Structure formats: structure tokens, C-alpha cells
Homo-oligomer: A and B are copies of this chain.
């Protein structure tokens, strides 16, 4: 029985890593679709998101089935429950990539991104892609040090988010309102994508150390940088 249980746990872990791979591919292709105004690429991202949704449902069903069959307790139980929370974060990351792709599709044949902001949006996409790739490794390795280090990537995303807002707030630019709204939302999507990755990393820390506060504390930081972004890039204060 225990062997079957640990085989199931391995399946769950593999599925979570697969979700990070799919979310990484989605945010990478969504960023390209946004910058290149590639409607077909955007549509492929939107279509592919169903795969993340399906895996998330499978994962929840497998977890519930596993709880019913194996009746795990203590750490084993926490692993299964935490996996369900992680799959929720990862599915949401896929949704956020799909949101970016929908903005891309909406503005074709034009790009939603003004030329002056192209390299900035590309950077946000690259940080998002890097953070979710690390997320996959952290889930597979249960590496607490790497999970803690992920905050650094999130700080980088927060800084990029601040800079984007500072640019959007510049009254001297003559971008159309649609670009201002698109990029305000797109900036938020990338920033939330990174937040969910940090949330997954914190759940790994929780699993290994048993410290739960880690998981929720992040909300405050998220707010702090959100406000800082709106404050045209002044330092974050919660």
C-alpha cells in the first residue's frame, strides 16, 4: 500500500512539474505573440491553456482519490493537500499567460506594445519564463534554498512592474488610451504570474519546514509593490 502511495505522490509531483513546463511555454509564447502581433501564436496559447486546466482537474481528482484510498496522515497528508494548492497556483499562471495572449490577439494586426516599451515587456516575459522554470526545479528537488532565492526573481519582476507603471504615467507620451489600458493589465498579469510562482515556492518551504505563515505573508509584499508601482516607482511601503 505505501509503495502505491509513494508512486501516486511521484505522479502528483511529475504532474506539477509538467504544469510549470506548460505555464512556462505559455508565458513565453504569449510574450512573443504580444510583441510580434502574431494572432496564430496567440490563439495557440489560448487553446493550449485547456491542457493546464485538464491536468489541474486530474491532479485534484487523483489527490482526492489518494486521500480516500490511502488515508494519509501527518506529513503525507500535508503533501497531498499542498499539491492541490500548488496546482491551483499553476493553473492560474496558465490563465494569466492566456490573458496576455488575448490582449495580443485583440490588437492584431497591430502590436499592443508601443515601440518604446518592447524591450521592457520582453524582459518581463523573460523573468516570468525564468521564474516558472525555477519553480519546476524547486517542486522536483524540494530545494528550500532555491525556493527562498525565488524571491529575488520576484523582486526583479516587481521592479520591472514599477518601471512600466512609471512609463505609463508619463503624461508626455502620446500613446493611445487602449495601449495604456492594455499595458496596465499586461503588467499586472506578469506581476501576478510571478507572485503565484513565489506562492508555489513558499508551499515547498512549508512542506519541508512546516512553517505556514510563509505562504500568506507574501500578500503584503505583493500589495506593497503594487502601491509602489502606482506611486511612479518610489520605494515600496506596505
Contact = CB atoms under 8 A, between A and B. Distances in A.
B170 A177 contact: yes
Copies of this chain in its oligomeric complex: 2
A49 to B, nearest CB: 8
Contact of A165 (B64, B73, B181): B181
A99 B223 CA distance: 7
A130 interface: no
Interface size classification for chain A: 35 or more
A8 interface: no
Contact of A64 (B78, B91, B98, B219): B78
Interface string A41-55: 000001001000100
Chain A binding surface SS class: helix
A223 B98 contact: yes
Nearest to A172: B177
Contacts of A226: 99, 102, 185
A156 interface: no
Interface of A: 46, 49, 53, 56-57, 60-61, 63-64, 67-68, 71, 73-74, 77-78, 81, 84-85, 88, 91, 95, 98-99, 102-103, 106, 165, 168-171, 176-178, 180-182, 184-185, 188, 212, 216, 219, 223, 226-227, 230-231
10 contacts: A57-B212, A64-B77, A81-B84, A88-B88, A91-B216, A103-B230, A169-B178, A171-B176, A181-B230, A185-B226
Given A60-B212, A91-B216, 8 more contacts: A64-B81, A68-B74, A85-B88, A98-B219, A99-B226, A168-B177, A170-B177, A180-B184
